């Protein structure tokens, strides 16, 4: 995803492809842009990078701090161009409470309920920090208010990914799993065998594919920019074919992606 033509838009420390920068420049005056910051829970860290060693916190995570540092500058740039924005910060609490991640959740917080409660407190801390400049919600509250069973969709997507028979995808999936091995093993705090690595890879892809597919459906017909930390998973936002979502039009326009430059892993 990270290519040579990725550059900041204006003075904000957020990187966009050439095509995305053109789209931002073409936004009409008065045309609202929805901005979504997807942020991680408050995973254990050393102040610079996530270590996943220790307990899940309930404060502002490293990724959230990067969004709070950079997105307000982008909002100001767009404001002076006459483009109003609606900034939503979504804390990804649900993705890790799948059955496949039980070991991870148990190690960091003891139980799924404790994990979700700590994430809710973290979201509240972000809201206090940002005030009225943005709305902050967890996946639980935001998708739940729309009667969307996010967790079931992501779990089903992971199963579909593991069962995929397409030769090109299987080759891509094998490369993805291996390239993501260091992070997957850091998450779990141990070495993973081949099947565990496949499970971890399917879980990782299912998170982005499910979230991206749902965002395209919910914001259909509206301008949308999703800001995310730099990860090889970004390309999987648009892998909608493995998400069992009824009445989804795969031809819906893709949203703009803005990438935070700092490496947090």
> What confidence tens digit (pLDDT) does each residue in 59-97 have?
999 999 999 999 999 999 999 999 999 999 999 999 999
pTM listed for this prediction: 0.95
Instruction: Show the domain range for 87.
Output: 21-147+219-257
Cα–Cα distance for residue pair 117/123, rounded to 1 Å: 10
Query: Is residue 11 very low, low, confident or very high in pLDDT (cuts 50, 70, 90)?
Result: confident
At residue 229, the pLDDT reads: 93
Cα–Cα distance for residue pair 192/185, rounded to 1 Å: 6
Within-domain flag for 13? no
Within-domain flag for 203? no
At residue 236, the pLDDT reads: 96
Within-domain flag for 202? no
Query: Is residue 165 very low, low, confident or very high in pLDDT (cuts 50, 70, 90)?
Result: very high
pLDDT in tens, 190-204: 999 999 999 999 999
Within-domain flag for 36? yes
Total number of domains in the chain: 1
Cα distances from 37 to residues 65, 81, 128, 225, 226, in angstroms, run 11, 21, 16, 9, 6
Residue 2: is its pLDDT beyond 70? no
At residue 3, the pLDDT reads: 59
Cα–Cα distance for residue pair 123/59, rounded to 1 Å: 8
Cα–Cα distance for residue pair 14/31, rounded to 1 Å: 21
Within-domain flag for 26? yes
Closest alpha carbon to 33 in 260, 214, 227, 222: 222
Q: What percent of the chain has pLDDT over 70?
A: 99
Burial code (b: 16+ CB inside 10 Å, e: under 16) for 158-167 equals: bebbbebeee
pLDDT in tens, 108-161: 999 999 999 999 999 999 999 999 999 999 999 999 999 999 999 999 999 999
Within-domain flag for 102? yes
CB atoms within 10 A of CB 195: 9
Three-point CA angle 84, 40, 123, nearest 5°: 65
Within-domain flag for 55? yes
Within-domain flag for 117? yes
Three-point CA angle 17, 3, 81, nearest 5°: 20
At residue 57, the pLDDT reads: 96
**Any residues with CB less than 8 A from the CB of 248 and at least 6 apart, and which?**
213, 216, 217, 240
Q: Average pLDDT over the chain, rounded to whole? A: 94
Residue 238: is its pLDDT beyond 80? yes
Query: Is residue 100 very low, low, confident or very high in pLDDT (cuts 50, 70, 90)?
Result: confident
């Amino acid at each position: 995803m990270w290519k040579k033509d990725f550059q900041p838009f204006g003075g904000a420390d957020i990187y966009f492809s050439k095509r995305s920068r053109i789209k931002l420049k073409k936004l009409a005056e008065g045309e609202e842009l929805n901005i979504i910051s997807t942020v991680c829970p408050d995973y254990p860290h050393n102040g610079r990078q996530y270590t996943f060693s220790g307990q899940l916190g309930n404060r502002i995570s490293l990724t959230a701090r990067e969004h709070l540092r950079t997105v307000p500058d982008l909002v100001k740039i767009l404001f002076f161009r006459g483009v109003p924005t609606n900034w939503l910060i979504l804390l990804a609490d649900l993705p890790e409470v799948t059955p496949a991640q039980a070991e991870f959740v148990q190690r960091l917080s003891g139980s799924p309920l404790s994990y979700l409660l700590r994430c809710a407190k973290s979201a509240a801390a972000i809201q206090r920090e940002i005030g009225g400049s943005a709305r902050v919600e967890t996946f639980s509250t935001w998708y739940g208010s729309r009667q969307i069973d996010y967790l079931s969709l992501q779990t089903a997507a992971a199963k579909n990914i593991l069962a995929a028979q397409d030769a090109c995808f299987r080759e891509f999936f094998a490369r993805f799993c291996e390239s993501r091995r260091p992070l997957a093993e850091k998450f779990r705090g141990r070495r993973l065998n081949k099947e565990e690595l496949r499970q971890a890879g399917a879980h990782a892809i299912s998170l982005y594919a499910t979230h991206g597919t749902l965002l395209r459906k919910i914001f259909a017909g509206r301008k949308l920019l999703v800001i995310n930390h730099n990860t090889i998973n970004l390309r999987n936002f648009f892998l909608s074919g493995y998400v069992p979502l009824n009445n989804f039009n795969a031809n819906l326009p893709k949203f703009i992606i803005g990438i935070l430059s700092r490496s947090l892993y």
